[in-house]
A and B are shown apart, each in its own frame.
Chain A
């Protein structure tokens, strides 16, 4: 197989070139993606539409697992078993259709065959709707509970799978050919996801049933006192933040600053745990911001004041940022690019946060007019992560499977451009100097001051800005 022995992955090997000058590629692709988003939303998810998978958990599960499939196909398996020549020559639309169809097919096998069929019948009953129904749970909730569990597994995998590629650089299997490398990384990340699932989400599922399944799981979860809820949504919060930070690190941060570490094992370890650390920073900040804007939580209540919902909303808010991050990276050429890497990274972070906030405001102000949902921040059965991840899936299909068609086309990178790929993995453009140290000190002070400025102003914003009218 031609793809087996490539050192550089297909995504790294290609350069996306605009077909037209100016902003037209971004405009055309954005319009196309939104048209496909709305059409596919109507067909698959919309509660007024055709298949109505937004039950909500069935649709939630599907959009999350589709995300994992796209990551597996493009990142972990590097499009194996398709040959590089096929990827280079086939029309992007044909590629998009075939690769998406394959992703959906594998997803169906995984959900129906592995989780519901195999695991649900031979391991853990709550993965199988049929088993739950046979034990007296109504059809609807049997399907919802099983979908919730399968969806939660996907949430973990959506952080760990790309993390192994991006942070750990596929180590120690980076020299293996495909499919050996893909299978190995997939199995390892799946295994790790299962461990994380058991220590985070299994408890959540175990207390769904009466009495609590205390012989099968730690009930309630060990994080109860810390998170002020027995719900697993605390874990959703930091794990989803992790998912977002992986892509922030990979795209707009260009793996900065951990790529400055020259020692392979240290860089990979620092990247992997650094992503978790940044994710926790994001997670705790968003939660605190919610408390500052909406007031202290009331444990046991519902809606905006409930700690479990606030944690969930941390993940939801982080995903809005991811929309901004990926849009900037994919459709705006990772703008800006003309400054040094640290400055580019800084500016992109600011811009992507701005996009994320705009999308957040637009979503809560207008989405209920289009998506068949209702206005309001907290709805017990509405999950903004469903439309946002659905949109992100379309971004990924367009950019990974379709080479950015119609606004962009893929051309092979030159040798010099390929060198820059390596420069992104191990960077040499920032070195320790006294002035760098001074800048770091001043910047850190300014950063801390900025943080306290933000948390001071947030209650005022909450009092004076009304998003939902």
Chain B
């Protein structure tokens, strides 16, 4: 009797263990990806923060050509070991040390030019031209934002400072940025992220105004923070550590914590509420993804007409003219947001622009001047007003 009971109990436990796994698996398989499961998911909550409005926004592309030879840039990345290699160690100017590809670091790169920054940029760049990989390749990304308030007053902001000292100095002079900086006409400088082509030209801005109020993402690595000082910055940088930072009424800085290729962390982008039109998004590279930005703005911000009106900047889709099927997801899905004007350039990639046009998106074409390679999108010296 005892044995029978024991056997019965053991059988029950065997069944219990097996049934528990089977029942769990049945739930996992039959319910998890069903419409019933998704019906219980909460709807997207919109907090809809009011942040004022502006009358208009004019963007001038100072430079969108971050590099001039894609094969050289991508070849350098390949030779250095791929897309995860720390950007400061690759050997690009101004951080080369003359030892070849991927054999340098920030300290060795900055040492010979530290004393030249920010006032003797020609000598500094010439020095690092000798020490670095493909010194002729760097360009940079930078744009001027002119915000018109509802009362008609205008305010200028500089978004990013490019890469090559030579190229950025030329570009600044071409668009009169040097004089604006000197005259304190540009109120603030926003560095979207730490990438070489957006940030390494920092000494050029310092040459003209080394106390300009400055915003940087709190994900900057120690080399990036040191570069602020080594470039001669004398101000007190505002370290962006909140998801939303109001710059001025109608102008919101949005922070995204995302790991990025070549060991960079985090990006900030801007959202503008243009009166009677809607939301305009301005980005450096948009490493977080344009639809991540639209989704965040949709949830967090309140804007006129509840409409996404325009985009300006790099959308980081095919920066190296590379492709991935998920980018096609973006090309298709962007339609849902119904942008009235798409002023993309830079790391968006020409292939992406072509696919956008094929989808019927209102991509604003450029003039292909000042070494911009194609009129597919807004190029160097081009402007767009929202």
Contact = CB atoms under 8 A, between A and B. Distances in A.
Interface of A: 47-48, 52, 54-56, 58, 138-141, 143-144, 204, 207-210, 220, 229-233, 257, 277-278, 280-282, 284-285, 287-289, 291-292, 295-296, 298-303, 305-309, 340-343, 345-346, 349, 372-376, 378-382, 430-431, 433, 435-452, 455
Nearest to B328: A230
Contact of B261 (A231, A307, A380): A380
A378 B320 CA distance: 20
Interface in B68-98: 70-71, 74-75, 77-78, 80-86, 89
A285 B32 contact: yes
B373 interface: no
A436 B15 contact: yes
B84 A382 contact: yes
B334 interface: yes
Interface of B: 8-29, 31-33, 37-38, 41, 44, 70-71, 74-75, 77-78, 80-86, 89, 102, 257-261, 263, 265, 287-292, 295, 320-326, 328-334, 351, 354-355
25 contacts: A54-B84, A56-B83, A56-B84, A138-B321, A139-B71, A141-B320, A210-B355, A220-B325, A230-B332, A281-B26, A281-B29, A299-B332, A300-B329, A301-B291, A303-B289, A374-B259, A374-B263, A430-B18, A431-B11, A436-B12, A439-B14, A443-B16, A444-B23, A447-B27, A448-B24
A208 B78 contact: no
B82 A52 contact: yes
Given A302-B289, A439-B11, A284 B32 contact: yes
A342 B18 CA distance: 6
B113 to A, nearest CB: 24
Contacts of A437: 15
Contacts of A439: 11-19
A284 to B, nearest CB: 4
A56 B260 CA distance: 13
Instruction: Provide the main secondary structure of the chain B interface.
Output: helix
B82 A381 contact: yes
A151 B161 CA distance: 39
B47 to A, nearest CB: 14
B322 A141 contact: yes
Contacts of A289: 32
A292 B330 contact: no
A381 B333 CA distance: 22
Contact of A306 (B21, B28, B257, B329): B329
Given A281-B28, A284-B28, A435 B12 contact: yes
Contact of B18 (A282, A291, A431, A440): A440
B328 A220 contact: yes
B22 A303 contact: no
Contacts of A374: 84, 259-260, 263, 265
Given A138-B74, A230-B329, A47 B85 contact: yes
A224 to B, nearest CB: 9
Contacts of A349: 21
Nearest to A302: B289
Contact of A47 (B13, B29, B82, B295): B82
A282 B10 CA distance: 28
Nearest to B5: A435
Contacts of A232: 325
A139 B160 CA distance: 30
A308 B70 CA distance: 27
Contacts of B328: 207, 220, 230
Nearest to A441: B19
A381 B330 CA distance: 18
Nearest to B354: A210
B20 A140 contact: no
A381 B16 contact: no
Top 7 A-B residue pairs of the complex, sorted by shortest distance between their CB atoms? A447-B23, A439-B15, A443-B19, A300-B333, A52-B81, A55-B82, A451-B27
A443 B18 contact: yes
B12 A56 contact: no
Given A55-B81, A374-B263, A138 B320 contact: yes
B324 A288 contact: no
Given A56-B83, A138-B321, A298-B291, A287 B33 contact: yes
A444 B89 CA distance: 57
Contacts of B82: 47, 52, 54-56, 58, 140, 381
Contact of B37 (A139, A288, A378, A442): A288
Question: Which of B25, B258, B259, B325 lies at the interface centre, i.e. has the most chain A CB atoms within 10 A of its CB?
Answer: B325
B288 A302 contact: yes
Nearest to B316: A302
Question: Which of A289, A345, A448 lies at the interface centre, i.e. has the most chain B CB atoms within 10 A of its CB?
Answer: A448
B25 A278 contact: yes
A433 B41 contact: no
A346 B23 CA distance: 12
A447 B321 CA distance: 49
Contacts of A450: 20, 23-24, 27
